[in-house]
Amino acid sequence: MTDLTPTPDTIARLRDEFGAELAAAETDRALQAVRDRYLARKGGVIAALMKAVAAAAPEARPALGKLTNDLKTDIEARVAEKRAALDASRAPAGAVDVTLPGRLTPLGHRHPLTVVRDQMEDIFTRMGFAIVEGPEVEDEWHCFDALNMPAEHPARDMQDTLYLASPLKGDGGADDVRTLLRTHTSSMQIRYMQAHTPPIRIVVPGRVYRRDDLDLTHTPAFSQVEGLVVGEGISLADLKGTLTAFARDIFGPRSRLRFRPSFFPYTEPSAEVDISCWKCDGAGCAMCKRSGWLEILGCGMVHPAVFESVGYDAERYTGFAWGMGIERVAILRYQVEDIRLFYENDLRFLEQFPY
């Protein structure tokens, strides 16, 4: 307990002690503690000192009282001064501390399939193609009949189709149509040709549906990019040139294409197209299964029967068409082994494509 025998020496000592404590107080809380220790009405050093002075010898009281009052006034002033200094050293409320490390805001990005689709659209747009989209719910005529696949055509069995339970018109009349989820974007070729006259240059990106089970390489729903060019004097050379230009743009300038004869009901002649493996440049590697080639799309010259179904003069116009899977291109581009990864929305997978 501090000795509070009221003498000038005691008061001088208290002033020194206060000065040392004040100098050491570097926070609001510490300053408040020093202030309370000296100035509290109950239990404060000054209050106790005043009591002691009141009990001192009468002839000493006036001088001691003045010294005590001076000390009290001095302490009040210096506490206020220190408080102001502490306030001034702090940043104003709401101010930004530019020395703090920044916080990273996580940025979203496009899905890899969207990246590939946008890139494909961009390439064909630069070649002068229009981008059009069509309905995913189709009728059999647009999806099959008009594409040279009549009811008895084996190709209708080839494509395991998802038919809708309720037809658009279910009255069983002559105009009754069975509706389905389109099995290919080619149905939009028909719709577009019905509404336009040649020349035509379109690409049709969109989702298509097959009755497939989900496994490494199959999904019941996937995305295609369809292409159609119709005009006078369009030849197989135009088809080859267009697809080669596309392949070089998306897989690199050294890409070569290989056309293998194939069959589609709506094109004649038809071809499956392989691209030289972009990884080994055709030498053979694990990705291309040592063949040097990667399957990428199907194509052909538009069958005259297709032109007839939309009322085009098949003697006057020729054209070519192709269809390729967006997933297929993405799988080849990014070397993804399992197509299901594109649909599972696992961020650990998607974050590897920060575009």
Count of C-beta atoms within a 10 Å radius of residue 43 = 9
Tokens of 225: 């990019």
Q: How far is the CB of 109 from Zn ion (least distance, A)?
A: 29
Say how far apart CA 20 and CA 3 lie, in whole Å: 17
Q: Nearest residue by C-beta to Zn ion?
A: 277
| Residue 333 binds Zn ion (CB under 5 A) | no
Tokens of 214: 């989900």
Q: How far is the CB of 277 from Zn ion (least distance, A)?
A: 3
Shorter beta-carbon distance to Zn ion: residue 257 or 277: 277
Q: Which of 285, 305, 314, 350 binds Zn ion (CB under 5 A)?
A: 285
Give the single-character DSSP code of 169: B
Shorter beta-carbon distance to Zn ion: residue 75 or 250: 250
Q: How far is the CB of 275 from Zn ion (least distance, A)?
A: 10
Residues in CB range of 135: below 8 A, 6 or more apart? 182
Say how far apart CA 140 and CA 157 lie, in whole Å: 13
| Residue 56 binds Zn ion (CB under 5 A) | no
How crowded is the C-beta side of 211, counted as CA atoms within 13 Å? 10
| Residue 280 binds Zn ion (CB under 5 A) | yes
Question: Helix, strand, or coil here: 209?
Answer: strand
Stretch that binds Zn ion, among 151-159, 180-188, 222-230, 275-283 (CB under 5 A): 275-283
Closest CA to 177 of 141, 134, 136, 137: 141
Number of amino acids touching Zn ion (CB under 5 A): 6
Shorter beta-carbon distance to Zn ion: residue 285 or 310: 285
Shorter beta-carbon distance to Zn ion: residue 47 or 280: 280
Stretch that binds Zn ion, among 33-41, 194-202, 271-279, 307-315 (CB under 5 A): 271-279
Shorter beta-carbon distance to Zn ion: residue 46 or 273: 273
Q: Which of 46, 277, 301, 306 binds Zn ion (CB under 5 A)?
A: 277
Question: Helix, strand, or coil here: 50?
Answer: helix
Give the single-character DSSP code of 177: B
Shorter beta-carbon distance to Zn ion: residue 203 or 273: 273
Residue 198 in contact with residue 231, Cβ under 8 Å? yes
Stretch that binds Zn ion, among 9-17, 77-85, 278-286, 310-318 (CB under 5 A): 278-286
CA torsion sign for 124, 128, 133, 138 is: negative
Q: Which H helix or E strand runs over 204?
A: strand 200-209
How crowded is the C-beta side of 258, counted as CA atoms within 13 Å? 11
Q: How far is the CB of 352 from Zn ion (least distance, A)?
A: 21
| Residue 256 binds Zn ion (CB under 5 A) | no
| Residue 288 binds Zn ion (CB under 5 A) | yes
- Residues of the shown chain interacting with Zn ion in the complex, contacts defined by CB under 5 A: 277, 279-280, 285, 287-288
